[in-house]
Amino acid sequence: MCYNINMPSRNRKLKICAAALAVLMALLCACGKTESAENAVPESFSPKAAAAEDHAREDCDAYCSYALAGMTLREKVGQMFIIRPDQLVTSIPPASTHTSKGSKVKSMSSEMLEVLKDYPAGGFIIFDKNIESRTQIMNFTAQMREVSKYLPFVAIDEEGGKVTRLAGSTDKGIYVKTYRSMGAIGKTGDPANALEAGQTIGKYLKEYGFNLDFAPVADINTNPRNVIIGDRAFGSDPELAAKMVCAFIDGLHESSVLSSVKHFPGHGDTTADTHYGMVAVKKTWEQLKEAELIPFSASFGTTDFVMIAHINLPNATSDGRPASLSKELITDKLRGELGYTGLVTTDSLAMEAITDQYSQEESAVLAVEAGVDVLLMPFDYTTSFDSIVAAVESGRIPESRIDDSVLRILRAKAGVQ
């Protein structure tokens, strides 16, 4: 249950389902598929009927299921990836594209469009190197929506504070409000300030063509020696952080921008950075539930995504894998024990906490087997894509497992037209 403040998200599930008709009809038209009796769109759908919450949800599910039935296996697998645009440029070797250090791609080229035909991506993520000017980035995000057969996630890390891509880019002609940090907002003790930040950021992200923000940070800053979280978190008090996180999400949702809390199950009590190697959190599961997990659990009823960190949890899980590849953590604990039903994404799979230990093929397949819905920025997109297709074709991964994730993805996309 999320904490409500001045202007909470009201019946967001209903709003998403009611929006499904226009979006998914566009998707289905783009597919050019013929309806079969088995997969026919239910005649009962109408805007008036969508005013009833239960009916709207049923119709949303029906349309999403219908869209899923029209997809090829490669289209389904593609929906499970969010990639950097430069990962579609075959002349750039994967070794040069670690996380945000990729090429300064600023528009969709003919080469990129050709790659997308065989490797359709479910979404794109933009970094500051992809931003040249106000007009350029608005055109670029519009291109991403136009070239994708299915509505793509157009994502960005815009936390407010030190991790932003648009804020602080006045040299590029982009003038939006900046924030000192979410830690500073947390110190005010007033969730209304987090709501205002989410509202402001959501509004300008929507203006620039984005529909997914990998924010807010739901970690709590419990270790003063932490080198990666710090004042990106709302503070060290789990209950206060929970209220701030939920308020920020409500603000994003007012502009129909999706949220992703991160970095589950909590990166705050660490002293190293998973960008550059393995990081372990020594707490037990019970200890995590008493502190780190509180802001995440509070947000489960309203956030769209949970991003899984690459941290190892030797005293909380027994499989020895990073959280992002752990079925024990994602399927058994996050979904099973904690009851989370939304989308699950990895942190960037190009981080060295993953690439130092696993091949591209192995990390991609393990992530899907663990219960991940979206694979974020794999080190080598086409290799990771092909490995999942091969795993399905060989029977290692049931196609029904892919369908489960794609259905969740389509439901989320239905609310961000």
Whether the predicted pLDDT of 100 surpasses 90:
no
CA geometry: angle 100, 247, 164, nearest 5 deg: 20
Domain 84-396 fold is: TIM Barrel (3.20.20)
The residue-averaged pLDDT of 317-333 equals 97
Mean pLDDT of the residues in the chain: 86
Average pLDDT over residues 206-231: 87
Q: Is the dihedral of CA 132, 133, 136, 138 positive or negative?
A: positive
Would the pLDDT of 310 be above 90? yes
pLDDT tops 80 at residue 44 = no
- Could you tell me the CA-to-CA distances from 414 to 25, 31, 92, 150, 159 in Å, in that order? 10, 16, 34, 11, 24
Q: Which residue has the higher pLDDT, 192 or 229?
A: 192
The pLDDT value given to residue 90 = 80
Calculate the CA 100 to chain-centre distance.
16
Give yes or no for residue 24 having a pLDDT over 90.
no
pLDDT tens digits for range 168-191: 999 999 999 999 999 999 999 999
Mean per-residue pLDDT, 22-44 = 42
C-beta separation of 272 from 227 below 8 A: yes
Instruction: Kindly write down the DSSP assignment for every residue of 308-321, as one continuous string.
Output: EP--B-TTT-SS-S
Instruction: Using pLDDT thresholds of 50, 70 and 90, give the confidence band for residue 415.
Output: confident
Q: What is the pLDDT, as a whole number, of residue 280?
A: 84
Interhelix angle 20-31/399-413, nearest 10 degrees: 130
pLDDT category of residue 344 using cuts at 50, 70 and 90: very high
Task: Grade residue 232 by pLDDT with cuts at 50, 70 and 90.
Answer: very high
The stretch 322-326 carries a mean pLDDT of: 97
Question: Which pLDDT belongs to residue 21?
Answer: 42
For residue 14, pLDDT beyond 70: no
**pLDDT for 28 beyond 80:** no
Q: pLDDT category, 279, cuts 50, 70, 90? A: confident
pLDDT of residue 5: 39
φ/ψ of 196, rounded to 5, equals -60, -40
Q: Which residue has the higher pLDDT, 69 or 42?
A: 69
Q: Is residue 264 pLDDT above 70, yes or no? A: yes
Query: Euclidean distance between the first and final Cα of the chain, in Å?
Result: 26
Which pLDDT value is given to residue 11? 45
Has residue 88 got a pLDDT over 70? Answer: yes
Q: Looking at residue 60, what is its pLDDT?
A: 81
| Whether the predicted pLDDT of 12 surpasses 60 | no
Q: How confident is the model at residue 53 (pLDDT cuts 50, 70, 90)?
A: low
From CA 262, how far away is CA 308, in angstroms rounded? 7
Angle between helices 360-370 and 399-413 (to 10 degrees): 80
Sorted by sequence, the CB contacts under 8 Å of residue 248 that are 6+ apart come out as: 182, 194, 195, 197, 198, 215, 216, 259
Contact by Cβ (8 Å): 345, 82: yes
pTM over the 0.85 mark? yes
Average pLDDT over residues 232-243: 96
Whether 276 has a pLDDT exceeding 60, the answer reads: no
SS3 359: coil
Q: What is the pLDDT of residue 227?
A: 54
How big is the CA angle at 216 (ends 16 and 189), to the nearest 5 degrees? 115
Question: With 70 as the cut, is the pLDDT of residue 242 above it?
Answer: yes
Whether 95 shows a pLDDT value over 80: the answer reads no
Band (pLDDT 50/70/90 cuts) for residue 317 is very high
* pLDDT reading at 8 higher than 50: no
pLDDT of residue 35: 39
Band the pLDDT of 417: cuts 50, 70, 90.
Answer: low
pLDDT of residue 97: 47
**pLDDT at res. 275:** 56
Catalytic residues: 275, 347
